Amino acid sequence: MGNCVCVITEFRGGNFRRVSAEAASEGRRIADVLGCSLCAVAIGSGTGAKAADLGAYGVDKVYAADDPSLEYYIAETYVPVIAEIVKKCDPSVVILPASVDGKDLGARLAARLDASLAQDCIQVSCEGGAIKAKRPIFAGKTLAWCQWEAGSLPIISCRPNVMECLVPMPDKKAEVEKVAVALPAPRAKVIGLELDTSGKVELTEAGVIVSGGRGMKGPENFAILEELARTLGGAVGASRSAVDAGWRPHSDQIGQTGKVVNPNLYIAAGISGAIQHLAGMGSSKFVVAINKDPDAPIFSKADLGVVEDLFNFIPALTEEVKKMKSTC
């Protein structure tokens, strides 16, 4: 153990996803502290052509597993390939994004390598060469610093939208080693894929989110939030109340049993602020809350609170944003 930091990137639809850049940047930062190199795993279909580009994030060497059978993540194909690469490069720590596939891959890979995984981490420290990772537990009510026993390989998945994405060497090309892929037919396979083509931003990776709760009173009223989100270039989320009422799909739900989000700006309209909702958006950098009830708990988590009827306020806010943008 100890030759390098190894980052496992996520490749989809012919490109590395932004979470890969975040993980690679964090890997580079850790490698610099530890005084070692940064290697990356690029696994998917078409990774060979793009692998060298990871050099921009400070990656020194990429192990590229490129095969049509790897187009979609399946644990049975990805994990054996990645485990072999990890054993080969013998890292002192493995980093990967805590994306949907990343969390699953990290878990099965950890078991394969007889290692322990800290999931969904928001900070990594390596003082004195000892790796520690901080992660939320109990829906973010507490933060835990995890540490590994001497001789154990730390595997760390990083929460999306938290680690700073740095591009220190935009023109650097990483060294690429192609890895042979010869797998038995897996017993699980992808049989269908439905992707939203409207271009809407994934909530867990959005910089701006406008979210609605029970105060929206009905599904058709979310149109005013969609208009505001469009004006701000953001995504629309919902509280559990709105989802349980059938107004919005579960994939829009923010909260303890929904998604955890970290936008720069979170606008909560008609959301009371139950503890389980706060668990999902509490780490938003700036929160604006609109609610008719001045005692709504959401105001305790808001940087700016507006005690107003959201049906008057939201359209007015959209107007003001448009005016501001037109004068810039």
Partner 1 sequence: MNIVVLLKQTPDTESVIRIATDGKSIVTDDLKWIINPYDEYAVEVALRLREQHGGTVAILSWGPNRVVESMRTALAMGADSGVLIDDPDLEGADSLGVAKALAAAAKQLNPDIVLCGSRAVDYDLAQRGAMVAEFLGWPHVALAISLECDGSKVTVDRPIEGGKVSLQADLPALVTFGGSHGIWNPRYASLPGIMKAKKKPIDMKKLSDLGLSGSECGAQAIKMRIASLEMPPQRAPGRIVEGADAAVKAHEVVRQLHEEAKLI
Q: Among residue numbers 99 through 138, which ones bind partner 1 (CB under 8 A)?
A: 99-101, 103-104, 106-108, 110-112, 114-120, 132, 136-138
Do residues 132 and 124 make contact, with C-beta atoms less than 8 angstroms apart? Answer: yes
Q: What is the C-alpha to C-alpha distance for residues 30 and 34, in angstroms, rounded to an integer?
A: 6
Contact between 304 and partner 1 (CB under 8 A)? yes
Binding-site member from 36, 72, 123, 166 for partner 1 (CB under 8 A): 72
Q: Which is nearer to partner 1, 189 or 230 (CB)?
A: 189
Question: What amino acid is encoded at 175 in this protein?
Answer: E
- Number of chain positions touching partner 1 (CB under 8 A): 98
Q: What is the C-alpha to C-alpha distance for residues 99 and 308, in angstroms, rounded to an integer?
A: 37
- Alpha-carbon dihedral sign for residues 248, 254, 256, 260: positive
Residue 296, SS3 per DSSP: coil
Give the CA angle between residues 271, 159, 122 to the nearest 5°.
95
Least separation in angstroms between CB 118 and partner 1: 6
Least separation in angstroms between CB 301 and partner 1: 6
Q: Which is nearer to partner 1, 60 or 291 (CB)?
A: 291
Binding-site member from 182, 184, 193, 220 for partner 1 (CB under 8 A): 193
Contact between 165 and partner 1 (CB under 8 A)? no
Q: What is the C-alpha to C-alpha distance for residues 249 and 238, in angstroms, rounded to an integer?
A: 9
Backbone angles phi, psi at 196, to 5 degrees: -75, 120
Q: What is the C-alpha to C-alpha distance for residues 37 and 79, in angstroms, rounded to an integer?
A: 23
Instruction: Give the residue carrying structure tokens 């609605």.
Output: 212
Least separation in angstroms between CB 292 and partner 1: 11
Contact between 282 and partner 1 (CB under 8 A)? yes
Contact between 195 and partner 1 (CB under 8 A)? yes
One character per residue 235-264, x = contact with partner 1 (rule: CB under 8 A): -----x--xx-----xx-x--xxx-----x
- Residue 196, C-beta contacts closer than 8 angstroms, at least 6 positions apart: none
Binding-site member from 188, 220, 295, 326 for partner 1 (CB under 8 A): 188
Binding-site member from 34, 165, 166, 288 for partner 1 (CB under 8 A): 288
Q: Which is nearer to partner 1, 36 or 288 (CB)?
A: 288
